[in-house]
Amino acid sequence: MKFTKIYKAVSLSLFVFSIAIVVSAASFSFNTDLKVGMTSPDVKMLQIFLNQNSQTLVSSSGPGAPGFETTYYGAKTADAVRRFQELYGNEILAPIGLSSGTGYFGSKTRVKMNNLIMTGQLSMSSSVVSTVSTSNNNSSTNFSSTAVPSIASLSSYGDSYGEEVIIYGNGFTDTANQVLFGEEYFVTAKVRSDGKSLRMVVPDISPGVYYLAIKNENGTGVFSHVFTVLRRDGSSSSSTGSVNSLLSPEGVQSSSNPSEVSEIFSVSPSRASVGDTITVKGMNFDSSSNIVSTNFGNISGVRSSDGEKITFKVSDMDLSSLTPLKTLNPSGTELNVIFDVVTSAGQSKTFGSFILNYK
């Protein structure tokens, strides 16, 4: 079905109420692996527990910070998990021959986290707020801001059609806030009960990188943040919301033998600048025909001398669309770079990520 570029605003008032649910840490247990790109309630609980230790803090402000935990497993969550793994390296990393954390929340990391929960070392009760919306034409919330809308941060900087993203900022009105995807598309977002954030559902538009801005009755804000619309995973409707290959070449088939498929174990550095080189450690990489598929384009012909390590330069990605950010944010803009590796056996089982400081 052809996509209609203009999303019509729905003139329906919503009555939004919140239900506070107190979750006892001792009653919670992680039972599934978590990785970059996933969206799950377990991710929010993971962030809550990680934020109880200053050494494993997900973020000091904005999405992922204490009190602002999200359900999205991005680069900041992966970095916090990596620090958690290294903090308990003798129990998590040493048994499998690793000295550096991977950022992948797998079985050994889960066992250690669950042990800390059950022994009361992570015993703080946390209030998890679930927002439920029901129609009520007689109810409204009044946010009287007259400032031009602006975006401070996003709960996710890349996701696929139908997934929920929270936009934090200022100047939002109680109705008709439009999220502009460049100058071609927009989608209406619902203001949340705090008046300082919007709930946006990623629209069904072509995968790619878009500049975002907010438009409402106060005016149109600047295009200050970048969001990547990812391709949907047509093979699964899993509630975890794991995404498919970002911009991988069409027609790539996965090997019928899972043991041949590549896997990403670690990415370093976890924070990089345009001039840096990224080192990826894993397994089953091809000797010369690897493709690093990122949300900023594909890098072809990446070599691996041992099948366990590849490197690529940040500058090899297509960053041309980001040039306006140098003027908008002279001090630099932090972007979440997500990638997988495509080999002759198909795309990698896991994603890698790092935070790019673009300036």
CA–CA distances in Å: residue 54 to residues 48, 60, 90, 99: 12, 9, 20, 21
Q: Per mean pLDDT, which of 135-149, 207-221, 261-275 is the most reliable?
A: 261-275
Name the pLDDT band for 127 (thresholds 50, 70, 90). Answer: very low
Copy the structure tokens of residue 271: 């924070």
Question: Does the pLDDT at position 131 exceed 60?
Answer: no
Name the pLDDT band for 61 (thresholds 50, 70, 90). Answer: confident
Domains and CATH numbers, the chain: 25-124 (1.10.101.10), 141-229 (2.60.40.10), 257-358 (2.60.40.10)
pLDDT of residue 316: 93
CB 250 within 8 A of CB 244: no
pLDDT of residue 294: 83
62 φ, ψ to 5°? Answer: 75, -160
- Chain-centroid distance, C-alpha 218: 29
CB 353 within 8 A of CB 336: yes
Q: pLDDT tens across 226-245, in order?
A: 787 776 543 222 222 233 33
pLDDT of residue 193: 82
Amino acid of residue 350: T
Selected residue with higher pLDDT from 249 and 117 = 117
* Mean pLDDT along residues 256-273: 81
* Dist. CA 352–CA 340, nearest whole Å: 6
Name the pLDDT band for 140 (thresholds 50, 70, 90). Answer: very low
CA–CA distances in Å: residue 344 to residues 58, 177, 282, 288, 295: 35, 45, 15, 10, 21
Its pTM stands at: 0.44
